[in-house]
Amino acid sequence: NQKAVGSVEEELDEDIAVTQSQPNFTCPVSQVEMVNPVKNKKCLHYYDQEAILSLITTKQNNKKKCRCPVVGCGNTDIKPTDLELDLVMRRMIQTHKRQGGKS
């Protein structure tokens, strides 16, 4: 009966692997696949570096705070110092592209 338990666990593992969603490679600002993904250290959301820095600059020029563009996020003041380049995410995007995937 030990085999039956093992195969049930394997099936569950496969189901979990299938249902876990792949990371979202689409920038919430530009709505296109990120090229240089940066992670917000405060809310942990990802954006394309150029798009988010442009948005921050535009908001600052209008004397406004830059709110995280991810729907439902409560982060209301993104600063360039909150952002860090994520090389692991960039590698994942490049691998995804090479495999011909669409995000």
Instruction: Choose the weakest-confidence range: 16-20, 27-31, 95-99.
Output: 16-20
Q: Burial, 89: exposed, middle or buried (Cβ in 10 Å; 0-12, 13-18, 19+)?
A: middle
For 85-95, the pLDDT digits (tens) are 999 999 999 99
Count of structural domains, the chain: 1
Q: In this structure, are residues 38 and 84 in contact, taking their beta carbons and an 8 Å threshold?
A: yes
The whole domain housing 63 covers 2-98
What's the CATH code of the domain at 69? 3.30.40.10
Q: Which residues contact 55 (CB under 8 A, 6 or more apart)?
A: 29, 66, 69
Q: Which residue has the higher pLDDT, 52 or 14?
A: 52
